[in-house]
C-alpha cells in the first residue's frame, strides 16, 4: 500500500467523460499539489496508465466507451501500491462492492468536491476518511439523481418520468421547485 506521508510522487490520473467536471477537478487538484493528467475515455485512460502508472487515480465508473473499473484493474496490475478512487453518479451497493474488490481505496458518489477527493487520496494507512461534516440530505440526493437522469434524457420530461417510474406531472412539479439543501 502506498505510504501517503512518505511519497514524493504526486502523479494523479483523473478519468471522467464529463469534460467540464474533468477540467474543474484537474485545476483544483493541481492547486493541491498533484501532477495531474486527464483522460475522458477508457482508451485514453489505458494509454495513460501504460505510459506511466500514476500514484493516485480518480476514475469515473461509467464512461462513454466502457467501465472505469477496468481501468482500476489495469492500474492495480501496473502499480499495485497506487491509490485509486472510484467516482460515480450511479451509487449503489453492488457497484461499490465491485469497485472495492477490484482494488479501489474508496468509492465516492457524485457530486463530490475536490476537498473530499483530496482527503480520500491522502488519508493515512488503511483508514478511510471521516464522513463529511455536512452531508447532503436525502432530499438533495434524490433531487441530484433526478436532475442527472433528466440531463441524460436530453431534458425530455416524459422520457425521464418513464425511466424513473414516476408520473410525468409529479416530475414536472419536482423540476419546477428549487433544489433542497
* One domain, residues 113 and 47: yes
Within-domain flag for 148: yes
pLDDT above 70 covers a percentage of the chain that reads 81
User: Could you check whether the bond before residue 177 is cis, i.e. omega within 30 degrees of 0?
Assistant: no
Which is more confidently placed, 106 or 60?
60
pLDDT at position 99 over 90: no
Lowest mean pLDDT among 93-102, 107-116, 142-151: 93-102
Under a CB-based contact definition with an 8 Å cutoff, are residues 12 and 57 in contact? yes
**pTM tops 0.75, yes or no:** no
* CATH code for the domain in which residue 166 is found: 1.10.10
The residues, ordered by sequence, that sit 6+ positions from 145 with a Cβ below 8 Å of its Cβ are 89
* One domain, residues 109 and 52: yes
Which is more confidently placed, 170 or 106?
170
* One domain, residues 55 and 113: yes
Number of domains in the chain: 2
* One domain, residues 39 and 96: yes
Within-domain flag for 6: no
* CATH code for the domain in which residue 56 is found: 3.40.50.2300
Amino acid at each position: 500500500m502506498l505510504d501517503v506521508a512518505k511519497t514524493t510522487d504526486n502523479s494523479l490520473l483523473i478519468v471522467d467523460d464529463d469534460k467540464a467536471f474533468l477540467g474543474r477537478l484537474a485545476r483544483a487538484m493541481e492547486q493541491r499539489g498533484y501532477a495531474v493528467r486527464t483522460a475522458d475515455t477508457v482508451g485514453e485512460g489505458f494509454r495513460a496508465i501504460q505510459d506511466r502508472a500514476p500514484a493516485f487515480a480518480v476514475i469515473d465508473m461509467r464512461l462513454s466507451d466502457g467501465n472505469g473499473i477496468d481501468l482500476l484493474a489495469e492500474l492495480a496490475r501496473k502499480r499495485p501500491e497506487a491509490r485509486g478512487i472510484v467516482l460515480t453518479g450511479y451509487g449503489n451497493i453492488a457497484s461499490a462492492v465491485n469497485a472495492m474488490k477490484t482494488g479501489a481505496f474508496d468509492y465516492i458518489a457524485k457530486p463530490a468536491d475536490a476537498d473530499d477527493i483530496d482527503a480520500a487520496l491522502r488519508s493515512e494507512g488503511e483508514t478511510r476518511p471521516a464522513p463529511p461534516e455536512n452531508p447532503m440530505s436525502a432530499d438533495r440526493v434524490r433531487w441530484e439523481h433526478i436532475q442527472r437522469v433528466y440531463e441524460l434524457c436530453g431534458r425530455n420530461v416524459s422520457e425521464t418520468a418513464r425511466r424513473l417510474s414516476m408520473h410525468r406531472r409529479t416530475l414536472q412539479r419536482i423540476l419546477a421547485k428549487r433544489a433542497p439543501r
